[in-house]
């Protein structure tokens, strides 16, 4: 049995009982990466020397009987838009190809406090802009279930590394579904917390009102462990929420008797593959058997979510990425011309096509002649989408549907059609616009590829989301299915 098949509590006991050492866990992770990542390309930067040094230090800590953190000794991958002190952070962009931060993101520091081992930085769509991980300037990530298919994006490296058994967990960022959609495609658990629950300090900004860091794991219990370690108020983040952090592990009771589930008709209707719909309906039957009840409801403004999201996120991106000009941030292309030519050359060569597309769209939407017609109207639609969820949650405990309308698609099949690519996020975007928590968990296979079940909760009600996901997981075998690498 591979060490990666054990749950975190089991590994904690094994470490405590001296059945395994942190160095052995770390070497196992590095060994799997050496064997598999040439095909998958989940990692952009490996921290071999640093990981081994941390492992030795933690083994000494274990031997001396010192207190240990919640994630003690566990090898982890970190998405490459989360800054790590002294460890290259590129956002998968040529603009930051040699950027080595001089400070840690808050979540990176919290992982260190929890005694995790940072194995390296994970591939992604450039500046987190994309839904397939084909926009990385360092090469695509491949889905471990089928190397000819995408792993999803933008946190494709995070999902693929966990699915391939390269790390015990990973951190990703979710702006419009960038944790949940790749988790669905790769058959792992991806959790997007409520906006403000996890600090964004040190996350390279794409769309500041939407970005949120969250865990990617193999099972729900592990997700609760990681969330417990990274959630909390941070004075360095102006959007961080001052809320009490509950014991997420205690929520995993398995009891969902009387739970009220809303199933939006917009989430299981036209555009959703029949095989995906069947998997979701089968999952609802499992939950019914555990004592829950479900009814079909409507979230009427769902159809406007994609348009509103791309206007808002692109507008925020055009503002956030203005600092990358070859002077203040990023690689400089100086060919002896004036300042404007320096800006032009640096940005045109530093950014990839998708980033340029979104900067142009956002700049247009924010321009004086179009601000009211596009940006302001999109903000109003965002409010309506949030109100749709608020209305449903007056009667129901969770909202459930598929995470993505299809399973993972073929590499290259949608690169020439940005609109079709954007529509892959139609079921995750409304949650991000509303700022509420959601998790994607495996709920079956369709033609040999994973299908994700999305469970959505009220604002700061992560405990209910985790409880429902864990109850389903404990009564099915879907989370135990692995790609044949």
Q: Which residues carry out catalysis?
A: 79, 154, 178
User: Helix, strand, coil shares of the chain as percentages rounded to 5?
Assistant: 45, 15, 40
Q: Is 5 exposed, middle or buried (0-12, 13-18, 19+ CB in 10 A)?
A: exposed
Q: Given its phi and psi angles, is residue 77 left (phi above 0), alpha (psi -120 to 50 degrees) or beta?
A: beta
List, edge to edge, every strand of the sheet that includes 117-122.
43-46, 117-122, 75-79, 169-174, 212-217, 189-192, 438-446, 449-456, 398-402, 260-264, 293-297
Q: State which H helix or E strand residue 275 sits in.
A: helix 274-289
Tell me the C-alpha to C-alpha distance, in Å, between residue 28 and each of 3, 157, 171, 223: 8, 19, 19, 21
User: Among residues 317, 337, 201, 284, which one has the least CA distance to residue 475?
Assistant: 284
Q: Is 190 exposed, middle or buried (0-12, 13-18, 19+ CB in 10 A)?
A: buried
- The CB-based long-range contact list for 417-422 (8 Å cut-off, 24+ gap) reads 418/354, 418/357, 421/130, 421/131, 421/132, 422/131, 422/306, 422/310
| Dihedrals phi, psi of 84, to nearest 5 degrees | -135, 120
Angle, in degrees to the nearest 10, between helices 48-64 and 22-40: 160
Q: Is 38 exposed, middle or buried (0-12, 13-18, 19+ CB in 10 A)?
A: exposed
Spell out the residues 6+ positions from residue 54 whose beta carbon is closer than 8 angstroms to its own: 22, 26, 117, 118
**Beta pairing, strands 189-192 & 260-264:** unpaired
Half-sphere exposure of 169 (CA within 13 A, CB side): 30
| Dihedrals phi, psi of 447, to nearest 5 degrees | 55, 40
**Facing residues of 170 across strands?**
77, 216
Q: Given its phi and psi angles, is residue 120 left (phi above 0), alpha (psi -120 to 50 degrees) or beta?
A: left
SS3 239: coil
């Amino acid at each position: 049995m591979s060490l990666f098949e054990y749950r975190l509590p089991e590994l904690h006991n094994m470490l405590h009982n001296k059945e395994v050492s942190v160095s052995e866990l770390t070497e196992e992770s590095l060994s799997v990466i050496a064997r598999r990542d040439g095909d998958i390309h989940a990692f952009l930067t490996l921290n071999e020397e640093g990981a081994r040094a941390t492992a030795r230090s933690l083994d000494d800590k274990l031997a001396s009987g010192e207190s240990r953190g919640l994630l003690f000794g566990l090898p982890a991958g970190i998405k490459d838009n989360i800054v790590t002190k002294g460890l290259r952070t590129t956002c998968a962009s040529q603009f930051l190809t040699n950027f080595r931060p001089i400070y840690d993101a808050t979540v990176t520091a919290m992982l260190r406090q929890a005694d995790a081992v940072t194995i390296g930085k994970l591939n992604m769509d450039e500046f987190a802009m994309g839904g397939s991980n084909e926009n990385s300037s360092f090469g695509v990530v491949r889905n471990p279930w089928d190397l000819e298919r995408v792993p999803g994006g933008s946190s494709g490296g995070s999902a693929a590394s966990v699915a391939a058994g390269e790390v015990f967990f990973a951190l990703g960022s979710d702006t419009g579904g960038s944790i949940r959609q790749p988790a669905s495609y790769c058959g792992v658990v991806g959790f997007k917390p409520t906006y403000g629950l996890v600090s964004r300090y040190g996350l390279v900004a794409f769309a500041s009102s939407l970005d949120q860091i969250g865990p990617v794991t193999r099972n729900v219990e592990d997700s609760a462990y990681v969330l417990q370690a990274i959630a909390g108020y941070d004075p360095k983040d102006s959007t961080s929420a001052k809320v009490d952090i509950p014991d997420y592990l205690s929520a995993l009771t398995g009891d969902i008797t009387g739970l009220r589930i809303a199933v939006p008709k917009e989430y299981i209707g036209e555009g959703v593959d029949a095989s995906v719909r069947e998997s979701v309906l089968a999952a609802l039957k499992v939950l019914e058997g555990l004592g829950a009840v479900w009814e079909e409801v409507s979230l009427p403004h769902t159809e406007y979510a994609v348009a509103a999201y791309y206007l808002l996120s692109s507008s925020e991106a055009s503002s956030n990425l203005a600092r990358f000009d070859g002077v203040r941030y990023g690689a400089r292309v100086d060919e002896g011309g004036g300042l404007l030519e320096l800006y032009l050359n640096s940005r045109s060569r530093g950014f990839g096509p998708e980033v340029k597309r979104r900067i142009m769209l956002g700049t247009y939407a924010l321009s004086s002649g179009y601000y009211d017609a596009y940006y302001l109207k999109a903000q109003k639609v965002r409010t309506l989408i949030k109100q749709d969820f608020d209305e449903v949650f007056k009667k129901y405990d969770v909202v459930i549907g598929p995470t993505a309308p299809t399973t993972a698609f073929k590499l290259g099949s949608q690169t020439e059609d940005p609109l079709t690519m954007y529509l892959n996020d139609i079921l995750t975007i409304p949650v991000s616009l509303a700022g509420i928590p959601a998790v994607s968990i495996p709920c079956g296979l369709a033609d040999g590829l994973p299908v994700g079940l999305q469970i959505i909760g009220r604002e700061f009600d992560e405990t209910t989301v985790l409880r429902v996901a864990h109850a389903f997981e404990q009564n099915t075998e879907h989370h135990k299915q692995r790609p044949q690498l």
